[in-house]
Amino acid sequence: MGPNLTNVTRVLSRIEEINRRIMPDMYNSPTEPMRSRFVDVLNDVNKARRTANSRSNVSGKTSYVELKDIIDECAEKYNIDNELIRAMIQVESGWDTQAVSNKGAQGLMQLMPRTSAMLGVNDPFDPAQNIEGGVRYISDLTDKYRGDIEKALAAYNAGPTRVDSGNIPEVSKRYVKNIMAIYRRLREAG
């Protein structure tokens, strides 16, 4: 006789119930199959990474020169300085299109899966989609914080809820400081 998993099953059912309330679209979408198990979501992420790796170089490293047209187009479209986008990519991923953080953020601008979905980014490892999504998001945050780039960057990193509550983590403060230093340097270099 195996271990009694009644309590585990009960907890998992409760988690699924909460998820259904928080993200009903995920469970009611006719095109997306329901994913109630963490392992299924993890497998989807790994499959997306393998697919992305197969169509780009192994390391995923790229450069500003290779992405200049995409960055310039997004900078103009969303009214965000080209240099700010470059600074964010440098700090977020070091120009690695295949970057995945220990928290699950993906691609050049390190979009979280839920943020990607919210922004309509289907392939976070595609540089054009990732940059478009990231720039759109920082633009929205800049609007939310009435042009305060540092608050927008803190919200990009820690989430708007933390910024709104005034509870910005130290790691996010360093993140903002690093990006702003690179941003100023790039602007001075012209």
Q: DSSP 3-state helix, strand, coil percentages of the chain (rounded to 5)?
A: 65, 5, 30
Phi, psi dihedrals of residue 70, rounded to the nearest 5°: -65, -45
Residues 53 and 110: beta-carbon distance below 8 Å:
no
Decide: helix, strand or coil at residue 61.
strand
Closest CA to 134 of 184, 189, 181, 179: 179
Residues present in the chain in total? 190
Is 83 assigned a catalytic role?
no
Among 4, 11, 84, 98, CA closest to 50:
98
> Token match 């390190």: residue?
110
Task: Give the Cα separation of 176 and 170 in Å (integer).
Answer: 10
Give the active site residue among 32, 83, 92, 170: 92
As annotated, the active-site residues are 92
